[in-house]
Amino acid sequence: MSQLRAGLRSRLPRGPGLVIVWLASALALAATARSLAVVGNLRPIMPTVAAFFLAIAVGEWLRFRITESRELAPMSLASALAFALLSGPLTSAPGPSGIPVDLVRPGEVLSVTALAMAVGAAPHLARRRALPADEIAARYLAVAAVAILFRGIPLWRSRTLLAIDAGWTGPRWPIALILATVSGLGLLLYLVLTAVVIAAREHRELRPTIADQIRTGAGLGLALGATGTLVALAARPLGVLALPLFLIPLLLTQFALRQYGAIHATYGQTVRVLARITDAAGFTRAGHAERVAALAVEIGRDLGLPELQTRNLEYAALLHDVGQVSLREPIPAGATVMAAPADQTRIAMNSAEVVRKAGVAAEVIEAVERQAVPYRVVREAGERLSVLARIVKVANAYDDFVGGSITARRREAAIERIQLGLGYEYDPRVVEALVRVLAREPRSGR
Amino acid sequence: MSQAAPTAGGEAEASTRPVADPTARRTATVVTLTGIAAAVGIWLAWHLEGPPTDLVATAVLLVMLLASWMVRVEVLAKVSVGSTSIVQLAAFVLVGPFGAAVIAAVAMFAQKSRTMQARVFNAAMIAILGTVGSFTYLWVGGARDLTTLHGAGELLWWVGGPLMIANIVQNLVNLALVAAIVWASRGENFWRHFVAMLTTSGLAQTGYGVIGFLFVILWVPAEVGPLSALLILAPLFIARWAYLQYGDEQRAHERTLSALVAAAEARDQFAVGHSQRVADLAQQIGDELGMGPSIVALRYAAMLHDIGLIASLPGRRRTSAATGSGSDPLALLTDEQAAAIIAHPSSGVDLLSDIDFLQDSLPGIRHHHERLDGRGYPDRLAGSAIPLQARVIAVADAFDALTHDRPQRPALGAEAALALLIERGGRHLDPVVVGALARVLTRHPWASEQAADPAEQGATAAPVLSMHDDPLTSDALAELRDAMEAR
């Protein structure tokens, strides 16, 4: 138990992520405390509530990793959204009369969702898997916002959207539009909150991270919003049966995304092994590629590169020396920064040759190929040199100059040597970012 | 029609080039008969049920059918998820037999196919499916007017059930027509093709049935109307997008793996292409032995079996190996090189141990130089203690080595190499696996390769890398190790 608690504590996020977690927890506790008093009222619609509870819990349990830093739980979010937007006859009795819509107030949605999410997260906790509390909290707050907006706030002539929905006669496509809009707003909030969490966790700038999240998350958000809306709309004729039926198309999406996440992780592992073969063959100092990659990624984030580009930067940095494997004789300690410019260029070309075969993005190939190009070509010849290539050059030079030493003096000397080449060899903006990154935390081995 | 998978087959291959006369005539007959059947079906639909009353629905469904290629997703190798089925099922209920047949035919005819004949066939086929499915729905009691139904029970009974039956019937007709055109144009066995398509697409088709039902429910009883089209397609569209991304990423990954192998082979010209050939051969032997799903792991293990060589002969400690053509491999190996060779299977495992999907392949990589008599390396396993994966790779590896030039000797012919392996069965190699190799070789001819100019190959960085997989080297190493331990 104490182990469990220690595990929890170490996984708790810091900064804005922690604020989001506290906010969600406070909301959940308050809602649950209030709902306990009225739990008897829910009895007539218990089967419906139980079905949504189950769907949210199972969806939360089935969450999966899509990239190194992100987890998704589409079924949980879609089910919870649908629950928040529910207005149909919640009993299976035929006819539109006697709809007990008022029974499910925002508080009830919030407490049921909170309990279900906790139940779904429990198996993961029990197996001591990392629990991204901040991401779960972001999901929860999005659902809470939708529930309050739809059921709690009198938006139009002192009537809530729910009351408008319940009293609507005639074709229901305007209702469909309202539901889609509300769930769209909720999902937008979800994306913004996850961006806040990620920006805090990975030292990124907030604005580009939000833009990034919206760009990459819009697709899934669309599917989630549509599913939540569909279930809420179809619950009128179909009752609670609408929930499992409409989750089927989403299941397909989840399956695809899971496979994508799996292959994404595998790809990353294979690239790492490819990067390691120069170490294994004794051409480079052990761990050089991985240190350069880690440093390059931090510089890239500091400069506000979007996520996809950061990933390409990581691959380019990992693979920047892979061409050394075809050298006849290794260069001293594999440090390309000490090699003659012509040799540097040749290694870059060799590496690019290998990387080209590896089917990575064109951006990666270009960065590897032009990693040795000095920054002055940009200023003097007006050539274009990708920011990825400039970052790899600086990160590589730093690691080569430090030469595996961990003393502060050696690190300062390395920065000094890089600053000697400022504007001539190295891009000043990238070097500034390097200095900021290094100042942020004392790093061992650098 | 509807069906994604079968239609894909029908669309792409049906019709097409008139290779031989009888096939062309057969194809023309099948296409003509299908066209006539479609015309009769449409006439009947008009005569019995009349034109669709809901023109808005007709127009929306037609647009959806025209755009359906946009949401087609390959789920598995041959099973794709398209919206065509879903829209067509909705059409049975919303626009009736005549409407269902005509909009489907129009949409299908508008899609590009390789030949006019294919377009006509596909349009006629989908029209038949429209009338057959639609009439089935009505005949088994499907509701014409959904507004009179109340509650989930009634909707399931009067709409869901009939739609499912209609879905099954039209699917069977679809598969039969596709199997017929494939038989006519390519001479494939009708039943075998029919059953194969049924087993691969059956589950997906059931899924379409459910989504088609939901579409209808949303449109009429939930009173959302044409807007349902957008809502129902959004999740499918995202699924398609996710699958496309998955496919891209997977292809990129395959290429990275090849690059990894290529980088490891780059230092030795004799080794170039070896890993890929061993992987292909090991897979064929695995098929022959009926290894089932574990073949995937076998293939990866075979592809990466020598990856440890890169670490075993470090660049900075590399000694210039002899490149002469002596017949005794032992004479060419220094002790240091022998030690490096003995270390390479475990070096490979160390290098790859972080890759999750290769976990099942590691035993094959580690033990591919074990011998049945227990004199192999690195662990001196004997007999059945050696994983089957490793025994298969050992045979494929030795066979490919023998049939290609090595620094110490020119390539052997396939027959001579096989004879040598058979002779080593039981002592070095698993005779059962060698037997499987012999059967594979009767079906797939093997090209043994001798370089045009062996002198040119002498200039390789580390020829010792490619010497190690010769069966004679295995004997030499075994003797060397015995001798070292005796000392």
B contacts of A329 (beta carbons < 8 Å): 315
| pLDDT (mean) for B22-42 | 89
Q: Which of A267, A315, A328 has the most B C-beta neighbours within 10 Å, making it the best mutation to test the interface with B?
A: A267
Do B310 and A253 count as a contact with CB atoms less than 8 A apart? no
| Distance spanning both ends of chain B, measured CA to CA | 77
Inter-chain CB pairs, A–B, below 8 Å: 206
In this predicted structure, the answer to whether residue B207 has a pLDDT above a threshold of 60 is yes
Do B234 and A226 count as a contact with CB atoms less than 8 A apart? yes
The per-residue pLDDT for B451 is: 55
The per-residue pLDDT for B433 is: 93
How far away is chain B from the Cα of A240, in angstroms, using its nearest Cα? 9
User: Predicted confidence band at B456 (pLDDT cuts at 50, 70, 90)?
Assistant: very low
- pTM recorded for the entire structure: 0.75
Question: Looking at residue B64, what DSSP letter applies?
Answer: H
Q: Which residues pair with A92 in a beta bridge?
A: none
The per-residue pLDDT for A281 is: 77
Do B227 and A173 count as a contact with CB atoms less than 8 A apart? yes
Contact present, B215 and B44 (Cβ < 8 Å): no
The per-residue pLDDT for A102 is: 58
The per-residue pLDDT for B10 is: 38
The per-residue pLDDT for A296 is: 95
B contacts of A249 (beta carbons < 8 Å): 211, 232, 235-236, 239
Q: Closest chain A residue to B204 measured between Cα atoms?
A: A252
pLDDT digits (tens, 9 = 90+) for A261-288: 888 888 888 888 888 888 877 777 888 8
Tokens describing residue B17:
């080039």
Q: How far apart are CA B230 and CA B86, in angstroms?
A: 13
| Greatest CA separation for chain B | 99
The per-residue pLDDT for A9 is: 47
CB-based burial, B270-307: b 16+ in 10 Å, e otherwise = bbbebbbbbbbbbbbbbebbebeeebebbbbbbbbbbb
- Which residue of B155, B207, B256 is in closest CB contact with A238? B155
The per-residue pLDDT for B86 is: 85
pLDDT < 70 positions in chain A:
1-14, 88-103, 326-334, 404-406, 441-446
ipTM of the complex: 0.76
Tokens describing residue A431:
């070097």
In this predicted structure, the answer to whether residue B9 has a pLDDT above a threshold of 60 is no
Q: Which of A81, A179, A246 has the most B C-beta neighbours within 10 Å, making it the best mutation to test the interface with B?
A: A246
The per-residue pLDDT for B12 is: 38
Do B151 and A223 count as a contact with CB atoms less than 8 A apart? no
The per-residue pLDDT for A332 is: 66
pLDDT higher at B407 or B388: B388
pLDDT digits (tens, 9 = 90+) for A194-223: 999 888 887 788 888 898 888 888 888 888
Do A360 and B256 count as a contact with CB atoms less than 8 A apart? yes
A contacts of B264 (beta carbons < 8 Å): 277, 325
How far away is chain B from the Cα of A377, in angstroms, using its nearest Cα? 31
Q: Whose CA is closest to A112, among A49, A184, A195?
A: A49
B contacts of A281 (beta carbons < 8 Å): 310-311, 313-315
Q: Which residues pair with A70 in a beta bridge?
A: A67
Q: Whose CA is closest to B361, among B429, B433, B275?
A: B275
Which residue is it, tokens 């594979």? B440
User: Predicted confidence band at B461 (pLDDT cuts at 50, 70, 90)?
Assistant: very low
Q: Closest chain A residue to B86 measured between Cα atoms?
A: A249
A contacts of B251 (beta carbons < 8 Å): 359
Contact present, A206 and A196 (Cβ < 8 Å): yes
Do B252 and A227 count as a contact with CB atoms less than 8 A apart? no
**Cβ contacts of B276 within 8 Å, gap of 6 or more:** B258, B261, B303
Maximum mean pLDDT: which of A21-30, A341-350, B51-60, B458-467: A21-30
User: Predicted confidence band at B454 (pLDDT cuts at 50, 70, 90)?
Assistant: very low
